[in-house]
Chains A and B, each alone.
Chain A
Amino acid sequence: MFKKILIANRGEIAVRIITTAKEMGIKTVAIYSDFDKYSLFTRLADEAYRIGEPPSSKSYLLAEKIIEIAKATDSEGIHPGYGFLSERGFFAKMCEDNGIKFIGASNKSIDLLGSKTEAKALAIKNNVPVVPGTDKPLQDFDQIKQIANDIGYPVLIKASAGGGGKGMRIVREDADIESSLRTAQSEAKSSFGDDSVFIEKYIESPRHIEFQILADEHGNVVHLGERECSMQRRHQKIIEETPSVIMDDKLREEMGECAKRIVKAAGYSNAGTVEFIVDKNNKFYFLEVNTRLQVEHPITELRTSLDLVKEQFKIACGEKLSFTQEDIIFTGHTIECRICAEESENNFMPSTGKIIYMNKYLGNGMREDTGIEQGDEISVYYDPMISKLVSHADDRESAIAKMKRALREYKLIGIKTNIPFLLSLLETEEFINGNYHTQYIENEFLKREKIKAPIHETKLAVISLASILFKENKAPALKLSTSQNGSPKNLWAKRITESFR
């Protein structure tokens, strides 16, 4: 096993990796941008080194500098987390060339599966169903337009090297293709340094269901069941759960086998995720493989009692999987909610500022993965996720009840969060029945008129009293700056140090 590893990431996922490493007796090295100097993950690590300025292009994406620090600290491995350099084949190669183990897939399988077109070809070759579309990355505008017309609208434009909704656009008619293509290519270029895109038939209102797999360097592959990730907005997942309401043993086995087939064909080793879209008739199509740990991995961990980061370490050290497909026991139901800094009621504008107060009670059956504490600042530099709340219970109804309770007890002052939005989603008939799809939030939920029921007598009295007592006690109170002004007021920042730290 490794003696020491470097974590080339920040925030909650760095925390997640460091905790498992510590439990396994592995020393940890954190790298940080100036913004993260004293963040939770840097304090949990055994060592912490500055990597650069806050923008990720000047810090967490500086591959050479990261390798340099790994070498200087005698780190034997680098865990890339998700995002940043986690799916960059060249980085895996650089690690290898410098005698450092990349705790992830090989650069060959990253490049193969990371290219959507090659992955698709591999799927076709291995009898895994795919969505009709182009099989080559395209850059030429006229050609793309022609193909869109041939397949028929609606079509989906996707960055060849993309992920997480970046560089992705749905085009419903000929008139929109020019501007959609332009933004998709520009996003792709700036995010991945590659502006080639591909285009495919857009499946209306599908579900997004993915399979977690583990593959060792000896050709053993298991799947750890599915994750239902259809609660999305603009291709960003918001709520994930497992098992999926639509899944039965037969479909699970069929999809699981497809997932295993494709990673096996790619000569893949590491934890990984095979994503599918599933149409209304439960017909499934291969989407892509994420060659890294996923944000939503905790729901699989709770349902299988496995530690995926631990498995990644073991696989990277050349160990064989210590269990077979038949050994995996699934228990209960788990749900994850992503708490984000945003104003859900104001077109989901990012909300930035300092968290001046934080109070929560998780209780039995809840897990929280977070890298944020009271006093931390949410900035424009990194993604807006503050926390991942995960509930685990015997059945779906109890898991939902636990989640709702924990969300109601989660208090945060200083930024706006999507907690009320998450709660209202959990209370919809569609979520309760499991009858939702990837377009549900945008096409149905957000289009409904929201009428808030009148408040009953006692609560009215409570709100009124709270408001009056606050007003009369106000002298030292803090003011919330809206996101329009960017950063919180200096006055506010000053008072935090006085009264909260």
Chain B
Amino acid sequence: MGKKNYGEFQMKKYLTTINTTNQKVETEMLPGNKALINGKEYDYDVKFMNPNVMVLRVNGGNYFLTCVEDDEEMLEVNIESDVFLVKSKSELDLLVEKLSGSKGDAKIKKEVYSPMPGIIKKLNVQEGQQVSKGEVLFVLEAMKMENEIKAVKDCVIKRSTSSQ
């Protein structure tokens, strides 16, 4: 099928975590378009329509699916409009993680982002102002709807980078 020689996967082992259902899968890629998945052998064939879209045949079963990586490097696999969040790690990835002692995704978000792209319709607060939880900070208009964005905790407005 594909022009690429998937024989290069020889003896490569992977651990795949499916976040959506909290399942783990062990896969060993074998030569000749075969794979050992959770102890069972499968034949497969793959054609990439583009880097994010593939036709995958597994033991004759037909799957036309899309894969998109998000910012957290999770892979969103879409089969027949059913979406699964997935991450596959090779043996090497797992070894590197173990040696560096980190999981690589321990980033803690301190910033509060706007919940959606939009236009600031009304700004209710000024720099230096004390606001309490639930108070309306600004009104965001996105796709024709107005949304009041409220403070998530008691705080002081340090800086406001937007004007109405």
Interface residues of A (CB under 8 A from B): 164-166, 179, 183, 186-187, 190-191, 234, 347, 349-350, 352, 356-357, 359, 380, 382-384, 407-411, 413, 419-420, 423, 452-455, 457-474, 476-487, 499-500
Contacts and interface: CB of A to CB of B under 8 A. Distances in A.
Contacts of A384: 143
A187 B146 contact: yes
B61 interface: yes
Given A183-B148, A464-B27, A473-B4, A380 B117 contact: yes
A468 to B, nearest CB: 5
A480 B76 contact: yes
14 contacts: A166-B146, A186-B121, A350-B118, A352-B117, A380-B118, A408-B81, A455-B21, A467-B16, A467-B77, A470-B54, A470-B75, A478-B69, A480-B76, A499-B51
B50 interface: yes
Nearest to A453: B21
Nearest to B139: A186
Given A413-B53, A466-B79, A470-B67, 11 more contacts: A352-B117, A380-B118, A411-B78, A460-B23, A460-B38, A461-B42, A462-B63, A463-B18, A470-B51, A477-B52, A499-B51
Interface of B: 4, 6, 9, 14, 16, 18, 20-21, 23, 25, 27, 29, 35, 37-38, 40, 42, 44, 46, 48, 50-54, 56, 58-59, 61, 63-71, 75-84, 86-88, 90, 113-119, 121-122, 136, 139, 141-146, 148
A468 B35 CA distance: 11
A461 B25 contact: yes
B9 A183 contact: no
Given A186-B122, A359-B53, A455 B81 contact: no
Could you say which of B6, B18, B122, B139 has the most chain A C-beta atoms within 10 Å of its C-beta? B18
A407 B82 CA distance: 10
B80 A409 contact: yes
Given A452-B20, A452-B21, A408 B80 contact: yes
B9 A477 contact: no
A252 to B, nearest CB: 33
B38 A463 contact: no
Listed from nearest, the 8 A-B pairs whose CB atoms lie closest are A477-B51, A408-B80, A464-B25, A464-B16, A467-B88, A461-B37, A470-B67, A480-B68
Nearest to B86: A467
A473 B70 contact: no
A234 B145 CA distance: 10
A467 B90 CA distance: 11
Could you say which of A383, A410, A423, A462 has the most chain B C-beta atoms within 10 Å of its C-beta? A462
B126 to A, nearest CB: 19
Contacts of A407: 81
Nearest to A472: B9
B33 to A, nearest CB: 10
Contacts of A457: 38, 40
A472 B136 CA distance: 47
A467 B75 CA distance: 7
Contact of B27 (A179, A468, A480): A468
B52 A349 contact: no
Contacts of B82: 408, 420, 423
Contacts of B116: 349-350, 483
A466 B143 contact: no
A487 B51 contact: no
B56 A357 contact: no
Given A183-B148, A473-B4, A454 B21 contact: yes
A481 B115 CA distance: 14
Could you say which of A452, A460, A465, A499 has the most chain B C-beta atoms within 10 Å of its C-beta? A465
B140 to A, nearest CB: 10
Nearest to A407: B81
A69 B32 CA distance: 65
A286 B7 CA distance: 68
Contacts of A478: 51-52, 68-69
Contact of B51 (A186, A423, A464, A473): A473
B52 A413 contact: yes
Contact of A461 (B9, B58, B65): B58
Contacts of B61: 458, 462
Contacts of B48: 473
A463 B80 CA distance: 12
B143 A480 contact: no
